Amino acid sequence: MQHRELGDSGIDVSEVGFGAWVIGTDWWGDRDESDALEMVEYALDAGINYFDTSDVYGHGRSEELLGEVLDERGDEMVVATKVGYDFYNNPQAGHGELPKEYDAEYLREAVEKSLDRLGTDHVEYLQLHNPDVAEMDTEVLELLDELREEDVADAIGVALGPSIGWLAEGDFAIEREFDGVQYVGNMLEQDVHRHFVETVEREGASTSLIPRVPHSSGLLNEQVTPETELEAGDHRGFRPDEWYDTGFEKVDTLRFLERDGERTMGQAAIQWLLSYDSVASVTPTFRSKADIDEWASAPETPALSDEERTKVEELYADDFGIDRFDGMEKEEYRTSVDGDDLRAAGILNAD
């Protein structure tokens, strides 16, 4: 496994990370906790050192489970967590978004509770979870500085979503050289990824990008096919049917990336993201040991050529040659600034 520096923090993270949203929750189907812990151990053995969790995943359960492994193998792990949602005072309604709380006092208490669950007094990477630009005010930024000065966190960043978008927030973090920006990005959903790549280049920033969902909810690793019936509770069910139907056709246009015996489509999806220098780590949704075997080894497969990367970008610009609505309105991209960020980036029309 190869590693890249997270921002200018001095922390080296594995090029493939482990998204711990799959442990402690049932958003990707039922999972036995002992199996989840075994997967974390297996990922460590495969060379993965970057583990990304949040206080809201399973209302703290993901952190607790990760803490069990951290207790034994902490010297092998770079742990990232997130705060910003107030699940302590609000019930979870299915997969709905909880209210956020960005009072600095609340955030400090939330960090302390996360550390307790992880069983540590320190976390390598602390992220604000889906903040609006207005919520990252002077008080919050001062708190982040204090937490680093107190050695509570080595690096700071933002994790954006759950809807794709929030360009203003990512730009804000990059312009202020946060160590990292996490977001949804893949070959079938390139807008946000390529915008942040351009922002990093324009600003000459040290900020690292950490794309998640590199397989676009199962299409690019072909775990979702026309015959697939998603389990009840599987988070991927939020995608409209049209999105999957057109997605199957888009995947076929990307077959040129496969190398028989050398690189699978799932590995190519990760290599496409790693072809951008500003990307530090890619966090797939591991559901099995077989996933870990395949995707943790992705960086060892042939890297994408400049021509291959350019062709992927050109296909996206032409909507992969498909003249049919995919069910995903760009007007639904998340924005906290009335769409000004999306219009400025050319994602939405100016009118």
| Higher local confidence (pLDDT), 234 or 73 | 73
What mean pLDDT do residues 264-276 have? 97
pLDDT at 28 over 50: no
pLDDT at 235 over 60: no
Tell me what pLDDT residue 10 has. Answer: 96
Most confident of 106-110, 330-334, 340-344: 106-110
Q: What are phi and psi of 302, to 5 degrees?
A: -55, 130
What mean pLDDT do residues 274-293 have? 95
Tell me what pLDDT residue 37 has. Answer: 87
For 75, residues 6+ apart whose C-beta sits below 8 A from its C-beta are none
Whole-angstrom distance, CA of residue 209 vs CA of residue 59: 26
Q: For the whole model, what pTM was predicted? A: 0.92
pLDDT at 94 over 60: no
pLDDT bracket for residue 245 (50, 70, 90): confident
Which H, E and C letters describe 263-302, residue by residue? ECHHHHHHHHHHCCCCECCEECCCCCHHHHHHHHCHHHCC
Catalytic residues: 57
Tell me what pLDDT residue 31 has. Answer: 56
pLDDT at 230 over 90: no
Rounded to the nearest 10 degrees, what angle do helices 33-45 and 289-296 cross at? 20
Structure confidence by residue, pLDDT tens digits, 4-17: 999 999 999 999 99
Tell me what pLDDT residue 97 has. Answer: 76
pLDDT at 313 over 50: yes
Q: Among all chains, which residue has been given the structure tokens 């996490």?
A: 182
Tokens of 58: 């399973």
